[in-house]
A and B are shown apart, each in its own frame.
Chain A
Amino acid sequence: MTRYNRYSDEELLKMLRASDHYAYTEIYNRYHYMLLQHAYTKLGDEEQAKDVVQELFVNLWLRRENEMNAANLAGYLYKATRNKILDIFAHQKVRENHVQASLNDFASNYSYADTDHRVLEKELSAYIERQVQALPRKMREIYELSRKGHYSHREIAEMLNTSEANVSKQVTNAIRILRKKTDTFIIIYFIYNSL
């Protein structure tokens, strides 16, 4: 059971920068299906797709403290994956013809000249959204729940952390107070345990 799935991408990134391994795990849980599916679509090879995603996450951890000023985690992960895949394309002889032909073909029919950064970003977001929608239902839900259903830090603290810490503190205090009041100095309580 993990409560990290309630954190927003931004919060997870902050925690990742502070070397929080759980945040790292949650980012993985949230995005790996999407990225695997995407890498497989482009590469058509399971082993290669797996290697790309694995390397991406290794680098994410290694570079957690510097490179990570990405406001948009999905976009960041997607671009990192894209660069890796394009790199594979550029270095693979076997595939070259197919890829090169496709690129040439695309270029010859390419008409729009809009090179604006923001327009490209928007197209990318729309593309990622389509990718999410194409995921099997359960996997899509992992991503969408985390994106839509997260609570703020404070809310989480109120719901889980603080109250839990307080309850446990109160018990410790209760034991201390009782120690002063009882004659034997010792209180032993036993716990029924049905396990």
Chain B
Amino acid sequence: MLKRYLAGTCTLAERALVERWYMQFNEDSKDKDISEERLIEMGKEIRNALSLQEAVVGTRRRWLVRTAIAAAVFASLLGTIFFTVYFPAVNRQAARVALDTITPIHSLRHNTLIINGRLQIDLDSAGEGVIADGNGFEVVKLGPGRLMYRRKGKDLGKGERLNHMISTPKGSNQYEIILSDDTKVWLGAASTLILSPIDFALKRSVSMSGEAYFEVFKDRDRPFSVRAGSQHIEVLGTHFNVESYHERQWTRTTLLEGSLRIKSVKSAILRPGEQAESDTHHLMVKKADTDEVTAWRKDEYIFRNEQLSNVMLKLERWYDIDVEYRTPDRAEIILGGSISRRDRLEDVLKVLGLTGNVNFRLEGKKVIVR
């Protein structure tokens, strides 16, 4: 009868009988009880096997926001004012593991397309129009800071596999790339995008380092994937921002629209407004302010509760400078604020230095932090 029940071939009466029998089966048995501890233990083991993701909601956030409002209000009353300071060194263990990163070519002075690591095309001085092509695609310069990949002909996927690497130098303005599926990518300064145009037509995947904002064209049949540092990001059609600096172990992906899956040390699914930060050992999902994250697209940099070293990383890329820490723990000072790319570097450093806890000296292209 059991087998017929499972096969769905028994009568209604038999079905009712089996279900009623099942309900009472073993209910009165003496050894049916299991201890609470064992239940918890078993629950944990399954939880681990499923690698479940708990929703993380910052508890410090509200408090921070309140502090920030107080700071902003205070500042508005007095003009330009600064609070003092704090900062015990936060002990972050630097996980030293080789990351799957792309090392940008620091010597580049121009936006450059490098094909198969050999052929270099200077995108700034190249004339508008088709600047490179291959089987089934061509690369078109649309104007200063804009490049487009488009399909040509039908013989996709044949011929030599080409590897295209688009790199922006330090100090570069954002660079827009329109891929052959109408996905748009904006690259920040000192950032790199790598793709194989022939493979891309079949399987939408790219790699990157630095900072990039993606507007992925929706195509349910072909997921779009990005490899960046310790993350593998999979989407169908969404807007998201990725920061993955090779100088840092972390990679941060922030979702603005749609949904997104990240594979890293474990996997996670992001909802709009969430950010996944990972290194080679951890992955943490938290709420993020998308205005802050994408401010760079408007040549602004808004930061809150950020380490000085991360702030300087941005300045290095914007102002084409190198930073040297003479007093190492200064790198871990936490601060917040807002900088526009129109601000002169000297002014930015002056104000940062006004805190009294950190000292900057500008020597040519080098900033010394003490």
Contact = CB atoms under 8 A, between A and B. Distances in A.
B73 to A, nearest CB: 8
A21 B255 CA distance: 15
Nearest to B73: A174
Interface in A13-28: 18-22, 24-26, 28
A120 B16 CA distance: 7
A191 B39 CA distance: 44
A49 B71 CA distance: 56
B36 interface: yes
Contact of A53 (B20, B46, B83): B46
Contacts of A102: 21, 25
Contacts of B292: 172
B59 interface: yes
Interface string B352-370: 1011000000000000000
Taking residues whose C-beta sits less than 8 angstroms from the other chain, chain A's interface range is 35 or more
Contacts of A75: none
Interface of A is mostly: helix
Nearest to A57: B50
Interface in B188-207: none
A54 interface: yes
A139 interface: yes
B84 interface: yes
Interface in A136-172: 136, 138-139, 160, 164-165, 167-172
B288 to A, nearest CB: 9
Given A174-B72, A175-B338, A42 B269 contact: no
Contact of A175 (B24, B39, B302): B302
Taking residues whose C-beta sits less than 8 angstroms from the other chain, chain B's interface range is 35 or more
A41 B27 contact: yes
Task: Find the residue from B43, B65, B292 having the highest chain A CB count within 10 A.
Answer: B43
A189 B49 CA distance: 44
B117 interface: no
Contacts of A36: 34, 39, 42-43
Contacts of A20: 269, 271
Interface in A50-66: 50, 53-54, 57-58, 61
Interface string B315-346: 00000000000000000001111111011000
Q: Nearest 8 A-B pairs (CB), nearest first?
A: A189-B71, A188-B337, A174-B72, A22-B55, A106-B21, A115-B12, A21-B269, A2-B55
19 contacts: A18-B259, A36-B34, A42-B22, A44-B32, A46-B34, A83-B6, A102-B21, A106-B25, A107-B17, A107-B21, A120-B16, A123-B20, A174-B76, A184-B80, A184-B351, A186-B347, A187-B338, A190-B82, A191-B68
Given A22-B53, A188-B351, 20 more contacts: A19-B259, A21-B52, A36-B39, A36-B43, A41-B26, A42-B26, A44-B26, A46-B42, A53-B42, A86-B22, A90-B3, A99-B2, A107-B17, A107-B21, A110-B17, A115-B16, A168-B289, A188-B337, A193-B334, A194-B86
Interface of B: 1-3, 5-6, 12-13, 15-27, 29, 31-32, 34, 36, 38-39, 42-43, 45-47, 49-50, 52-57, 59, 61-62, 64-65, 67-69, 71-73, 75-76, 79-80, 82-88, 259, 261, 268-269, 271, 273, 287, 289, 291-292, 302, 304-305, 334-340, 342-343, 347-348, 351-352, 354-355
Interface of A: 1-4, 18-22, 24-26, 28, 32-33, 36-37, 40-42, 44, 46, 49-50, 53-54, 57-58, 61, 82-83, 85-87, 89-90, 99, 102-103, 106-107, 110, 113-115, 120, 123-124, 127, 136, 138-139, 160, 164-165, 167-172, 174-179, 181-195
